[in-house]
Each structure stands twice: as C-alpha cells, then as structure tokens.
C-alpha cells in the first residue's frame, strides 16, 4: 500500500514532481514541474553542499512543508504557481473552486506579499498561509491588501484537514 503524502515509497527514489497551477492566464508558466527530493543527503549532493549554510535553510524548509502538505491535502492537490515575470507562490492547494496559497519562510518578517497579491488577482478564492519554523501559535497578519495566516507545520496540518 502506498503511503499518501510521502515522497518515500512512491517508487521514484524520493523525488516528487510538483506541477504548476494554472487557470489559463497568458503569463502563467504551465509546463514546467518542479522536482523535490526527500533524501536530504541526495539534496545536499545534488546542490553541491558540503555544509548547510544559513541561505540553504529555506530550500530545506520548503521540502519539509511540501511533505506536510502532501500528507494533509493529498499529493494530487499540491501545485506551485509561477508567472513569466518570475513571481512565484511556493505551493497552491486546490480547494473546490478556490485555492489555498502557501509561502514557506524561515522568518515571517521576510515575507514579500507581492507575488501572492498577483496570484490572488487571478484567483481570489482561498486562504493565504505563511509557514515558518518555530511558530507555535497560529495568527493572522495583514500584508498589503491580504490577510495571511502565520503558522508552523503542525498548524498547517490542522488547517488543511
């Protein structure tokens, strides 16, 4: 039996492809999946890391958040969003007619709402999350015209179920 939501046990060596989310916008990237590896030794090797530096933490955090999302929401529901101008939302989870947007940040104060605002101009229905390590109490914060929910992995898991 395949474990839902894990890159392990998928028969692909722990590599997971995340497809782009799109709704027909001309400026959206629609054909380029992103690959995530769940063997941290492999990820470090593939990126040429000998030591994990401060700037590498965000990449590893994104992998962990993806694993949580795949467990909570199901692998088929997790995508990412990007446009031709280079704006990106880390993860998008399909929810009926809407889509929840998930940004992964080591520090919630470094969150830039610009790409999420562009995404929401095309896809207004759904919740906005910023997932950060060490956040034990989920809370809402205004970021420009958006309300984002700042949470940790356990809070995200609870929100997605």
For the stretch 121-152, pLDDT in tens is 999 999 999 999 999 999 999 998 999 999 99
- Give the neighbor-by-neighbor strand order of the sheet with 78-82: 78-82, 88-95, 98-104, 128-131, 146-151, 139-143
Task: Tell me if residue 27 falls in helix, strand or coil.
Answer: coil
| Residue range 101-114: mean pLDDT, rounded | 94
Parallel/antiparallel/unpaired status of strands 88-95 and 78-82: antiparallel
Helices (H) and strands (E) in the chain, counts: 4, 8
Selected residue with higher pLDDT from 8 and 13: 13
Selected residue with higher pLDDT from 1 and 64: 64
Q: In whole angstroms, what is the distance from residue 130 CA to residue 29 CA?
A: 22
In tens, the pLDDT along 60-86 reads 899 889 999 998 887 778 999 998 888
Residue 11 has pLDDT above 50, yes or no: no
Residue 3 has pLDDT above 70, yes or no: no
Contact by Cβ (8 Å): 160, 141: no
Radius of gyration of the chain (CA): 15
| Half-sphere exposure in the Cβ direction for 127 (13 Å, CA) | 15
What integer pLDDT is reported at residue 25 of this predicted model? 63
Residue-range domain boundaries for the chain? 15-160
Helices (DSSP H) in the chain: which residue ranges?
A: 40-47, 57-73, 114-122, 153-160
pLDDT more than 90, % of the chain: 47
């Amino acid at each position: 039996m395949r474990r839902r939501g894990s890159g392990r046990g998928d028969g692909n060596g722990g590599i997971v492809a995340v497809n782009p989310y799109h709704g027909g916008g001309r400026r959206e990237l629609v054909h380029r999946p992103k690959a995530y590896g769940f063997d941290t030794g492999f990820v470090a090797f593939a990126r040429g890391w000998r030591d994990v530096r401060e700037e590498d933490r965000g990449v590893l955090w994104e992998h962990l958040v993806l694993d949580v999302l795949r467990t909570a929401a199901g692998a088929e529901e997790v995508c990412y969003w990007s446009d031709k101008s280079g704006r990106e939302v880390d993860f998008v989870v399909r929810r009926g007619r809407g889509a929840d947007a998930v940004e992964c940040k080591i520090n919630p104060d470094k969150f830039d709402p610009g790409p999420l605002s562009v995404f929401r101009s095309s896809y207004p229905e759904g919740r906005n999350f910023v997932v950060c390590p060490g956040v034990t109490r989920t809370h809402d914060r205004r970021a420009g015209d958006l309300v984002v929910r700042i949470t940790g992995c356990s809070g995200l898991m609870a929100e997605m179920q």
